[in-house]
Copies of this chain bind each other. A is one copy, B any other.
């Protein structure tokens, strides 16, 4: 289906995507909720057409400076919003197409907007999500044999990272200072000499649960609002000195970059696919999905350096498969 907003051929921001974000403009510096479409942002604080059963009572969520209140409403509200916005933006409907006043007010060129963090994030959990990743960590940080810890085969292995240093894409970061152990056994302090990055997917949890009340595995996805691209910056020399026995800390906590646009789980449904492997050993019952699946999401890493004529492709991978390097 076509949109009444022009969408360049190579745009990620189509009528099928419609990711949410928080933005502000110079003329209107208060942060508010928008949806990316082509080279524009639809300012949801201006449209006032959410007349479905849930959102008609809580339109204020789009005037907030965080997606938090909208995410808290849960999947029925997210679905209702998506239907309304889809209708509004489609070329076959007149609401926005024929209303010059509204489109002037509600369609902001992305070039004129500043993008912010989509939410005030309360906790950041970093999962060792692929076996290859666990194996790579083992190679990088231990001298002993290459077998990963057995717990990885039984449970989602993860740690908490620092929520307060999550920044939106484009924010400059400073190379961190820290301690490292030299090969001759000397401990020094200074700027990291092994600044690294990892392409990852971040999931934003929308609706929470009461303390102590578990979420059954088949309901878990109802709590996931959407996904962002994530750059897990790491200072590897600091990490190899600090990680025993409590795990990563300062080597990771100086910055975590996420894309400001959140692609909803509804928008990702067409990319759902079967798992490539059967999990072994069979997960314990509380971790068994009724219909196990994953997503076919292609991921690329490019490096752009000052003065270089073009970007360099460093690696390409897919969420559904074991990563491969270029």
Chain A residues with a Cβ under 8 A of chain B: 122-124, 128, 137-138, 141-142, 149, 151, 154-155, 157-165, 167, 171, 173-174, 176-177, 179, 181, 187-189, 208, 211-214, 241-249, 253-255, 284-286
Contact = CB atoms under 8 A, between A and B. Distances in A.
B154 A179 contact: yes
B160 A249 contact: yes
A159 B123 contact: no
B189 A284 contact: yes
B173 A155 contact: no
Given A154-B179, A154-B187, A244-B149, A249 B212 contact: no
27 contacts: A142-B245, A149-B244, A151-B179, A151-B181, A151-B241, A151-B242, A151-B244, A154-B179, A155-B242, A157-B242, A157-B249, A158-B246, A159-B159, A159-B246, A160-B160, A160-B161, A160-B253, A163-B163, A171-B211, A173-B211, A174-B212, A174-B213, A176-B212, A177-B214, A212-B255, A243-B245, A247-B247
B159 A247 contact: yes
Nearest to A177: B214
Contact of A212 (B157, B164, B254): B254
Given A163-B163, A189-B284, A211-B255, A155 B179 contact: yes
A167 to B, nearest CB: 7
B160 A122 contact: no
A149 to B, nearest CB: 5
Given A167-B211, A174-B211, A212-B255, 10 more contacts: A123-B163, A151-B179, A151-B181, A151-B241, A151-B242, A159-B246, A187-B284, A211-B254, A247-B247, A247-B248
